[in-house]
Amino acid sequence: MKFGIFYEISVPRPWDPGVEKRVFDNCLEQVALADELGFDSVWAVEHHFLEEYSHCSAPELFLTACAMRTKKMRVGHGIVVCVPEFNHPIKIAERTATLDILSGGRLEVGTGRSATWNELGGFRANPDETKRTWDEFVRCLPKMWTQERFGYQGRSWSMPVRTILPKPIQKPHPPMWVAVTSPGTEIDAAERGLGSLGLTFGSVKEQETKVENYRRIIANCEPVGEIVNNQVSTVNFLFCHEDTEKGNKLGRRMLGTFNFLAAQLLAAREAYPTKSYPSLGLLPSLRKEASGPADPAGVPEGIAIGDPERVLRACKRWESVGVDRINFLLNAMETIPQEEVLNSLRTFAKHVMPHFQDSSSHAAAAGGGR
């Protein structure tokens, strides 16, 4: 099991002149500490126009800043929107290769297609087309990274033969992932040999079924790249505190704030009837989570909130269903004071990480140990 941290970068109103900088600075301070503590990776979303919920519209810049402040952590796009109105594929290839170089070969590339009308409508993208453009993009990117010269005539985009520069330093190329929100997307990931980057907070049982499907199908995949990235990652909240009551209370507040905020967005399917988005994606999952079954402390199953013992149980539960990585959301709307977030990372590294094989050597640096 590997542990990462995951950023939406939510910024509470009122948006006074300094508030965005304060939030970004807090995130970067967390990243630097997480690197010292042995967290494996930092991921950043690409979202546009999502008021308060996410001000992370230029993740390549944020991730570059993360790479400059860290030594070991991998930096991950979670995800790049593979829709031409958002990002031209040539620019994606160029930007990601540059970030791979600047980070010393620590880049992970998550791909996806957006699921809100806020974003799709804002860029005037056709929701019917996004799955197709995503498929074209993920098949082109590895070739753009690895071939000296590349030309393409496709459905959503084309280019004459050119040399796309620079090239990533990871060989054959950085690992690729797919955001899995809609049911069945884990199958799309597996068929293409891509990692499954879970971005919803579904139940353990749901995830178990997805993992089983994914492992079965990827065993016989036709990879779009030159490597198969057979990994399942899921996202979770993290607030770990040695005082059980405080851990539960602050953690629940973060969870509730995040869900409440996300629910105000307009899902693509809610606004625009299309078979391209068979479910509402992230939003109903969050609503379900907000009202789903919880333990006596009010924390839903599988959520890494509470004292170290409870957080450890939650992580072990995810490990038991075959999840390889958990990426943690550390805060929402700055609900939790920065010093508490940093202490939560330290507490997790000291008391929880050592119980997982892949993380134990790093956790020792935090003073942890069995």
Partner 1 sequence: MPISGTMDVAAFAAGAHLAEIHGFKTEDWTLKGAQILNVYYEVDIDLAQRLMPVTVHPVIPAYAMFNVTHYPESPVGPFTIADVRLGCRAGVRPRGLTLASYVDSEAAARELAQRWGFPTRVGKVALRAFHDRVVGRVVTAEGRLALEVEMLDRDFISGGDVQYVSSMHLCRNREDGKLTIVQCDPEWTFSKAERGRPNLVSFDSALWNGGDKVRPNWPISASYAIADVTLSKIRYVSDPNQDAFRGTTQVAA
Cα–Cα distance for residue pair 76/67, rounded to 1 Å: 10
CB 235 within 8 A of CB 306: no
Q: 126 Cβ partners below 8 Å, 6+ apart?
A: 120
Give the residue, chosen from 290, 294, 297, 364, that forms a contact with partner 1 under the rule CB under 8 A: 290
Distances (CA, A) of 296 to 95, 126, 246, 248, 299: 47, 45, 15, 10, 8
Q: Please state the closest distance from residue 261 (CB atom) to partner 1, in A.
A: 6
d(CA 56, CA 320): 32
Nearer to partner 1, 84 or 121 (CB): 121
Contact call for residues 259 and 289 (beta carbons, < 8 A)? yes
Q: How many CA atoms lie within 13 A of 98 on its CB side?
A: 13
Q: Determine how β-strand 150-153 pairs with β-strand 158-162.
A: antiparallel
Shortest Å distance, C-beta 12 to partner 1? 7
51 is a contact residue toward partner 1 (CB under 8 A): yes
- Shortest distance, position 183 Cβ to partner 1, whole Å: 13
Q: Is 170 in the site for partner 1 (CB under 8 A)?
A: no
User: Per-residue string for binding with partner 1, 248-287, x by CB under 8 A?
Assistant: ---------x-xxx-xxxx--xxxxxxx----x-----xx
The one segment of 116-124, 173-181, 189-197, 236-244 that binds partner 1 by CB under 8 A: 116-124
Residue 183 interacts with partner 1 (CB under 8 A): yes or no: no
User: Is position 50 an interface residue for partner 1 (rule: CB under 8 A)?
Assistant: yes
Among the candidate windows 114-122, 137-145, 155-163, 339-347, which touches partner 1 by CB under 8 A? 114-122
Nearer to partner 1, 12 or 183 (CB): 12
Compute the C-alpha angle 319/324/325, nearest 5°: 100
149 binds partner 1 (CB under 8 A): no
- Identify any residues that bridge with 152 across adjacent strands, giving them in sequence order: 159
What part of residues 186-215 is at the interface with partner 1 (CB under 8 A)?
none
Question: Is the bond preceding 79 in cis, omega lying within 30 degrees of 0?
Answer: yes
| Residue 19 engages partner 1 in binding (rule: CB under 8 A) | no
CB 104 to partner 1: min, Å: 39
Q: How many alpha carbons fall within 13 Å on the CB side of residue 316?
A: 9
Residue 291 or 361 with smaller CB distance to partner 1: 291
Report how far residue 65's alpha carbon sits from residue 118's, in angstroms, rounded to the nearest whole number: 27
DSSP string, 289-333: HHHS-B-TTSPBTT-EEESHHHHHHHHHHHHHTT--EEEEE--ST
**C-beta closer to partner 1: residue 228 or 286:** 286
Instruction: Choose between 99 and 283: whose C-beta lies nearer to partner 1.
Output: 283
121 touches partner 1 (CB under 8 A)? yes
Minimum Å distance from CB 83 to partner 1? 17
Q: Which of 258, 134, 130, 261 is nearest to 201 (CA)?
A: 258
Nearer to partner 1, 284 or 322 (CB): 284
Interface positions with partner 1 (CB under 8 A): 12-13, 49-52, 117-118, 121, 257, 259-261, 263-266, 269-275, 280, 286-287, 290-291, 333
